[in-house]
């Protein structure tokens, strides 16, 4: 089955800096890669996603890149703000059988003013 | 009400109690999920229902019993739990296409369960 690894587990940046979170997946048939943000006391919220027919997608300050050959994808946050502080999860889905998401272990991002 | 709603938000129960968690989605999705979230562990998929039929049970202990009476409601019945079952239980929904196209999940805010 699919296995997703996520790094780093924690990331501290200064406000205004960029942050990058990386994930690798094992199943080459996976074709859908969402990213979730989880704030304290809340459930994960979808912030951006990418499908395997696209190499990069951007939405304002966040972007996701996908390298199918290397089987890794990354989340990029530019001009970070304190409200970006949260836990971020990557996930992968696709391949044969019933479609379900397999999640990474999460990255705790702390943006200091 | 919009999105995915979970009740209760917090639950404390003894090991001999029986309780139920409730999830309701107002998005018209056809698949619902139960996930367990423990500290420093990845999200653990517990149960998947697609079109009200249980599709997957990831070897969850029988003290957890799911119920999906229709595509909008999902329950997790709990009995004789252990302290290690204390966690955040998340419900999610999605629209699964027969073509295999996958869409992102919408999660509820979760139920924080403490077993004493």
Strands (E), B8-109: 10-13, 18-25, 31-37, 44-50, 53-57, 64-70, 73-79, 87-94, 106-107
Task: Please answer yes or no on whether B42 and A105 come within 8 Å at the CB atom.
Answer: yes
Give the per-residue pLDDT at B100. Answer: 64
Chain A positions touching chain B (beta carbons under 8 Å): 4, 31-32, 34, 36, 41-46, 49, 89, 93-94, 98-106
Give the per-residue pLDDT at B55. Answer: 77
Give the per-residue pLDDT at B113. Answer: 96
Give the per-residue pLDDT at B104. Answer: 84
Strands B111-115 and B10-13: parallel
Give the per-residue pLDDT at A94. Answer: 67
- The answer, for B55 touching chain A at a CB cutoff of 8 Å, is yes
Tens digit of each residue's pLDDT (9 = 90 or more) over A18-40: 999 999 999 888 889 999 999 98
To the nearest whole angstrom, how far is the Cα of A113 from the nearest Cα of chain B? 26
- The answer, for B30 touching chain A at a CB cutoff of 8 Å, is no
Task: Please answer yes or no on whether B42 and A32 come within 8 Å at the CB atom.
Answer: no
- The answer, for B106 touching chain A at a CB cutoff of 8 Å, is yes
* B17 vs B107: CA distance, rounded Å: 27
Contacts of B41 in chain A (CB under 8 A): 105
Mean pLDDT for each consecutive 10-residue tract of chain B (116 residues)? 89 93 95 90 88 80 94 95 95 81 87 96
Contacts of A90 in chain B (CB under 8 A): none
Contacts of B87 in chain A (CB under 8 A): none
* B81 vs B87: CA distance, rounded Å: 12
Give the per-residue pLDDT at A98. Answer: 60
Mutation target for A interface from B4, B41, B43: give the one with most A CBs within 10 A. B43
Q: Is B75 helix (H, G, I), strand (E, B) or coil?
A: strand
Task: Please answer yes or no on whether B4 and A94 come within 8 Å at the CB atom.
Answer: no
Tens digit of each residue's pLDDT (9 = 90 or more) over A59-100: 999 999 999 999 999 999 999 999 999 999 999 986 655 667
């Amino acid at each position: 089955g699919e296995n997703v690894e996520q790094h780093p587990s924690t990331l501290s940046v200064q406000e205004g800096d960029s942050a990058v979170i990386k994930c690798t997946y094992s199943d080459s048939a996976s074709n859908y890669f969402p990213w979730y943000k989880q704030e304290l006391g809340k459930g994960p919220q979808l912030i951006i996603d990418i499908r395997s027919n696209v190499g990069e997608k951007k939405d304002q300050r966040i972007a996701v890149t996908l390298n199918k050959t290397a089987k890794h994808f990354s989340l990029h946050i530019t001009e970070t703000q304190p409200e970006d502080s949260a836990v971020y999860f990557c996930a992968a889905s696709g391949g044969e059988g019933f479609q379900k998401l397999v999640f990474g272990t999460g990255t705790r991002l702390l943006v200091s003013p | 009400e919009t999105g995915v709603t979970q009740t209760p938000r917090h639950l404390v129960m003894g090991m001999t109690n029986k309780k139920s968690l409730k999830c309701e989605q107002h998005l018209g999705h056809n698949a619902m999920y139960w996930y367990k979230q423990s500290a420093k562990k990845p999200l653990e998929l517990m149960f998947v229902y697609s079109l009200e039929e249980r599709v997957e049970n990831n070897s969850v202990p029988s003290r957890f019993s799911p119920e999906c009476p229709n595509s909008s409601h999902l329950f997790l019945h709990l009995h004789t739990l252990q302290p290690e079952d204390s966690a955040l239980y998340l419900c999610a929904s999605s629209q699964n296409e027969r073509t295999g196209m996958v869409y992102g999940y919408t999660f509820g805010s979760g139920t924080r369960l403490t077993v004493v």
